[in-house]
Amino acid sequence: MEWERVTPESMGIPSGAVLELLDTLYRAGVEMHGLVLLRHGKICAQGSWRPYRPDEPHILFSFGKSLTATAIGFAWQEGLLSLEERLVEVFPDKLPPAPSEHLRQATVRDLLTMSCGHETEIPDLGRGDPDWIASFLKHPFVYAPGTHFLYNTAGTNLLSALLTRRTGQSLTQFLKPRLTEPLGMGSLRCQLLPDGTEMGGAGFSLSLEDMARFTQFVAWQGRWDGKQLLDPRWFRSATGKQIENGDPATGSDWNQGYGYQFWQCVPEGVYRGDGAFGQFGVVFPRQDAVLVIQSATPRMQDVLTAVWERLLPAFAPGPLEENPRERQILEARLQGAQLNPVLGMRNPGAEESLNGAVYLPEGEAPSFTDLVGGAGKYTPDGGKLVSLGFRFTEEAAVLEVDEDRGHYTLPIALNGEWATGRIKGAWYGTMGRWRAKDKLEAEIRNTGTVSGKRFIFRFQGGRMTLSGDSTYPDVGGLCDPLMPEVTFRLTEGAIDTKTRMYWEPN
């Protein structure tokens, strides 16, 4: 099924309201990567902020929990499992020696509602533990199942393991003939846990367009292109309130109730899937509308509040008079969207001296793609950096990267626009400038993640240092490890003379 694309006004949405939403998000410091607004199953507005692309997978984080729950829904529909099935029956080989009564009572439904009985999550969500299932089941089940909400990503990972035990297939394999192929979703990927289980709690990636397809499928209660693929009773349960998860009076969209891996929202009847750093699929049943956002922000409540205040009140019951001026402004804004560019600055003398120069790391250095990293890249590529070389063209600096696992090049745009290149199957966006005679700045992102690095290459005679800060404002930890400074030395050869001479003090 191909999307029909229409003007916002034809669907009862003022273009100006969408512009106000974008302006509010910008003022709040939200780094937008993608947006799709649909009403009555038609696309009213869509944009991707370069270097992010609408057709390439983007990490979903916990939005993927809604996909995992939908897989459980298909298995329920086909009689492959029961929501009342007890965990001790599914994983008898992983149980502690003396299972507690609360563990004996815990069911599939309790995992779906984040109420299995844990008081805390298991360490590292199981990501560093090859026997994480046993660790999950021996972790204290403090509360009677179904009585205490605890956001539990490892519990969703356990749903993935449970599905594999019942079907012999991974999540993505199971969903392929039931969801991804019928909906035309070609970008679904999922990262693995140490035992090979797909990380259903936080490891999925989808393109912006496929994320919109899935969210619309949920809004249509399992119906797609005239066919009922999943029983609507499932979605009535999954997207409704199954358990309290805080005090609704706080006004937080994380305290309004929880379903089967879907959140209730502050506006009555509205629900969503969401993931860390601002990955949202919001469904407005009364307005027959869907909003999908991919972004990078620590201000997730600000995103939702902006939607409730700027967009939701603007929905009209029927078509509005067209507003060509505002519509054209919106279309130009979305078509030309890109992350805030830097002013491209050149340094002809430095570029001439570096053209063809090759630098070797002093000591061991990780692969360049691992130095770039990115929040949502849980598993390093591995390998070691052997050398970095430089070439310069009219528009870009070209990095020549040699690693112990191969060679690749990466252009870094120096003209104020984003350049892109594919490395090891992933798209990278780059933009740079000279900050001083001896400092080349380059922002490099793996666009499958929500962040990257702002690198500083500093040249001093025959040496170069490479340092980098995350593009995301809240750095450190497992999501985006801090980068150590790497020191390089210039290789011996004919280029040494002119390169060293340029960097000599005046």
Which among 390, 359, 389, 371 is positioned nearest to 492, based on CA atoms? 359
Alpha carbons 458 and 440: distance in angstroms, whole number:
7
Which among 2, 25, 60 is positioned nearest to 207, based on CA atoms? 60
Alpha carbons 168 and 174: distance in angstroms, whole number:
9
Alpha carbons 488 and 362: distance in angstroms, whole number:
5
How confident is the model at residue 494, as a pLDDT?
A: 45
pTM here is 0.95
- State pLDDT tens for residues 67-85: 999 999 999 999 999 999 9
Bridge-partner residues for 57, per DSSP?
none
Alpha carbons 280 and 351: distance in angstroms, whole number:
43
How confident is the model at residue 493, as a pLDDT?
A: 61
How confident is the model at residue 498, as a pLDDT?
A: 63
Environment class of residue 325 by beta-carbon count within 10 Å: exposed (0-12), middle (13-18) or buried (19+)?
A: exposed
Which among 155, 209, 219, 202 is positioned nearest to 186, based on CA atoms? 209
Average confidence score pLDDT of the chain:
94
Domain residue limits, the chain: 348-503
Alpha carbons 23 and 17: distance in angstroms, whole number:
10
Q: Give residues with Cβ within 8 angstroms of 79, minimum separation 6.
A: none
* Interhelix angle 15-27/324-335, nearest 10 degrees: 40
Beta-strand pair 406-413/396-403: antiparallel
Alpha carbons 473 and 308: distance in angstroms, whole number:
25
Measured in whole angstroms, how far is the alpha carbon of residue 409 from the centre of its chain? Answer: 25
Q: Say if domain 348-503 classifies as CATH 3.40.50.720.
A: no
- State pLDDT tens for residues 302-318: 999 999 999 999 999 99
Cis peptide bond upstream of 317, omega within 30: no
- State pLDDT tens for residues 125-136: 888 899 999 999
Bridge-partner residues for 190, per DSSP?
204
Do the Cβ atoms of 93 and 135 come closer than 8 Å?
no
Alpha carbons 131 and 162: distance in angstroms, whole number:
14
Alpha carbons 189 and 208: distance in angstroms, whole number:
13
- State pLDDT tens for residues 190-243: 999 999 999 999 999 999 999 999 999 999 999 999 999 999 999 999 999 999
Which among 2, 25, 31, 10 is positioned nearest to 311, based on CA atoms? 25
324-to-9, 10, 16, 210, 426 alpha-carbon distances in Å: 10, 12, 11, 29, 38
Which among 159, 243, 162, 244 is positioned nearest to 203, based on CA atoms? 159
How confident is the model at residue 348, as a pLDDT?
A: 94
DSSP state of 178: I
How confident is the model at residue 478, as a pLDDT?
A: 47
How confident is the model at residue 187, as a pLDDT?
A: 87
How many angstroms separate the most distant Cα atoms in the chain?
79
Q: Phi and psi of 497, rounded to 5°?
A: -60, -55
User: For the chain, which residues score pLDDT lower than 70?
Assistant: 474-481, 492-501, 503-506
Residue-level length of the chain: 506
Alpha carbons 218 and 454: distance in angstroms, whole number:
38
Do the Cβ atoms of 64 and 188 come closer than 8 Å?
no
Q: What is the dihedral of CA 130, 133, 137, 143, to 10 degrees?
A: 110
